[in-house]
Every structure is written in structure tokens, then in C-alpha cells.
């Protein structure tokens, strides 16, 4: 192995470090660009709503032919205007916090940015076939955990809607994109 002088070794190490940092920065930029394209920027200085600025609730059931439909409502409880874009996350849980059934499936819809002034709401439709009609395995959740778009922290809502499908062929639960208001 050939001996290399200390200054040459340092220069080579520095060049390697700069190359690694440059590639990491490029990856970070690509990831940020991808995130930004999913989360459309709002105009007028408003930014997306954070979980701490929202309250979640579940509206009254609107039954359909063998279907159960509930509006899942997110209300801006902050003193600033903020935006939501896309689908909320949702999961039924038992009293110990264990998730019941799979995550809801997203209905194929085009998402729009919803601007929420203080006190205003947006809603997404949560629907599934009645377990009594579909024959799906059912359970009665204690809560519905709602995760606002692009957030990780969840809001817990007491579930009073009765049994939900948690297994079997007809156990799918569906969720729509957010729309302005508090329900249909």
C-alpha cells in the first residue's frame, strides 16, 4: 500500500464527505418536492392544519340500502386559517386501544385543498356495508382514531355507531376525500 501524505488524505476525505453530503441533500430535495406536490401550497400565507389545531367528531349516521354512512368532521379550533388536503386517516379501536379490522380504503376521488377559517369544518365520508346485511365478522369499537392529512398525531373520538365490519369478504370500510362543511 502506497503512503499518502497527511494533507492529500485529508483533501480526499473532505472531497468524499462533500460528495456524500451532496447526494444526501439531493435525496432530501427530491423527497421534499414529492411531499410538496401531494400537499398543495396554500395562498395568502395560510399553511396546513396541524392536529393540535383541530377537533374531530363523527356526525349522525345516514343509512342507505344496506349501508352505514357517517361524516367524519375536522373542525379548526385554532385562531388562524389553515388548510387540509386529501384524506384523513381512520382506525377503529377497542377499549384497550387495539385496532379492529384493517384501515379504511380510500375511494378514488380527486382531492382539493379545503381552507378552514377558525371555527370552520371539513368532512370525509366513512361508509361500510351493515354487518347484519353483509355477513362480515363484526365488532363494536370504543373509539375512532382520526389522523388529519399529512399529520401523525391522532384525534380520538368516542364511537357510538354500533358494530362495524372487521373481517370477512364484505368487511371493507371506505373513506372519501375531505370536503368543506360538516356533512352531506
pLDDT tens sequence for the chain (184 residues): 455 455 544 444 444 433 333 333 333 323 222 222 233 444 476 799 999 999 999 999 998 888 999 999 999 999 999 999 999 999 999 999 999 999 999 999 999 999 999 999 999 999 999 988 888 899 999 999 999 999 999 999 999 999 999 988 778 999 999 999 999 8
pLDDT score of 45 = 67
pLDDT at 133: 85
Q: Looking at the domain that runs over 47-180, which CATH code has it been given? A: 2.60.40
H/E segment holding residue 68: strand 67-76
Backbone angles phi, psi at 146, to 5 degrees: -115, 130
Provide the grid cell at 174.
Answer: 371506505
| 3-state secondary structure at position 78 | coil
Alpha carbons 158 and 61: distance in angstroms, whole number: 14
User: Can you tell me the distance from the alpha carbon of 148 to that of 121, in angstroms, rounded to the nearest whole number?
Assistant: 12
Q: What is the pLDDT of residue 18?
A: 37
What residue spans define the domains of the chain? Answer: 7-38, 47-180
pLDDT recorded at residue 3: 53
Amino acid at each position: 500500500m502506497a503512503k499518502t501524505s497527511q494533507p492529500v488524505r485529508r483533501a480526499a476525505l473532505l472531497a468524499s464527505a462533500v460528495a456524500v453530503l451532496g447526494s444526501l441533500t439531493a435525496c432530501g430535495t427530491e423527497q421534499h418536492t414529492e411531499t410538496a406536490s401531494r400537499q398543495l401550497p396554500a395562498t395568502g400565507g395560510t399553511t396546513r392544519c396541524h392536529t393540535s389545531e383541530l377537533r374531530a367528531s363523527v356526525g349522525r349516521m345516514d343509512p342507505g340500502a344496506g349501508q352505514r354512512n357517517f361524516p367524519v368532521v375536522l373542525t379548526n379550533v385554532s385562531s388562524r386559517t389553515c388548510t387540509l388536503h386529501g384524506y384523513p386517516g381512520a382506525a377503529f379501536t377497542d377499549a384497550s386501544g387495539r385496532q379492529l379490522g384493517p384501515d379504511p380504503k380510500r375511494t378514488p376521488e380527486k382531492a382539493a385543498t379545503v381552507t378552514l377559517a377558525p371555527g370552520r369544518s371539513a368532512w370525509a365520508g366513512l361508509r361500510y356495508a351493515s354487518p347484519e346485511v353483509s355477513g362480515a365478522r363484526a365488532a363494536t369499537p370504543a373509539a375512532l382514531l382520526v389522523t388529519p392529512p399529512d399529520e401523525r398525531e391522532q384525534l380520538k373520538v368516542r364511537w357510538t355507531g354500533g358494530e362495524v365490519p372487521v373481517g370477512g369478504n364484505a368487511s371493507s370500510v371506505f373513506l372519501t376525500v375531505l370536503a368543506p362543511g360538516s356533512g352531506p
